[in-house]
């Protein structure tokens, strides 16, 4: 068996994986006050689900038809005992996916910075996989997924610009545009 399966699990359910990315963006869209940014979160969140399908298909192709000897030699035994060759999202180190793998803060600026950082971390993880894996049948789709992370990073940068342009303040960090509507105190001046 190819040991590539272990590396790819990280992008299945790991801390910078496709499931977390999808859940992050699809959850954040509800607090996004700007329709074009909300649409972007929906589009990229849906695309990340498709990326999960690509990663899962690669893992399936690498693990199907394994012999007991290959399972033992590859270190795949503990996973096999629990899941046979079924796809079960976990990190490369064996830690199962959970909701702690993504963030949805409900603050537009915070969430967009989180999204940009997440895309950079995913790109870095794909870079690491490409350093270790030499099989072109694995590398080609991983290169494609890596390119999409770069595009997503750029698109979230555009969403940050759109957000900043729509705010009525030069201080983008003084309030949460998804929640605070520039509350005024009784004197008519800002609370902050």
Domain ranges, residue 148: 4-166
Please report whether residue 18 resides in a domain: yes
Please report whether residue 182 resides in a domain: no
Judge contact between 183 and 114, C-beta under 8 A.
Answer: no
Q: How far apart are CA 126 and CA 8, in angstroms?
A: 9
What does the pLDDT read at residue 171? 62
DSSP 90: B
pLDDT in tens, 107-166: 999 999 999 999 999 999 999 989 988 889 999 999 999 999 999 999 999 999 999 888
What does the pLDDT read at residue 187? 40
Please report whether residue 67 resides in a domain: yes
Q: Is the pLDDT of residue 177 over 80?
A: no
- Is residue 56 helix, strand or coil? helix
Considering 27-31, 66-70, 128-132, 176-180, the range whose residues carry the highest mean pLDDT is: 27-31
pLDDT in tens, 40-57: 999 999 999 999 999 889
- Is residue 184 helix, strand or coil? strand
Please report whether residue 134 resides in a domain: yes
Please report whether residue 187 resides in a domain: no
Q: What is the CATH number of the domain that holds 123?
A: 1.20.1260.10
Please report whether residue 190 resides in a domain: no
- Is residue 172 helix, strand or coil? coil
Three-point CA angle 49, 50, 56, nearest 5°? 90
Number of domain units in the chain: 1
State the pTM of this model. 0.82
pLDDT bin (cut points 50, 70, 90) of residue 77 is: confident
Percent above pLDDT 90 for the chain: 47
Please report whether residue 176 resides in a domain: no
Please report whether residue 14 resides in a domain: yes
């Amino acid at each position: 068996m190819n040991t590539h399966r272990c590396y790819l699990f990280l992008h299945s359910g790991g801390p910078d994986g496709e499931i977390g990315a999808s859940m992050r963006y699809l959850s954040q869209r509800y607090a996004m006050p700007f329709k074009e940014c909300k649409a972007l979160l929906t589009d990229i969140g849906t695309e990340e689900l498709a990326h999960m399908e690509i990663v899962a298909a690669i893992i399936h192709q690498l693990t199907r038809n394994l012999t007991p000897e290959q399972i033992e030699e590859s270190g795949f035994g503990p996973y096999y005992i629990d899941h046979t060759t079924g796809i079960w999202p976990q990190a490369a180190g064996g830690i199962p996916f959970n909701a702690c793998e993504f963030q949805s803060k409900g603050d537009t600026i915070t969430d967009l910075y989180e999204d940009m950082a997440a895309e950079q971390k995913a790109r870095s993880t794909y870079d690491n996989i490409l350093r270790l894996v030499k099989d072109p049948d694995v590398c080609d789709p991983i290169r494609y997924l890596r390119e999409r992370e770069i595009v997503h990073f750029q698109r979230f940068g555009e969403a940050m610009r759109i957000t900043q342009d729509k705010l009525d303040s030069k201080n983008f960090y003084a309030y949460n545009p998804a929640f605070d509507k520039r509350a005024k105190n009784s004197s008519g001046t800002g609370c902050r």
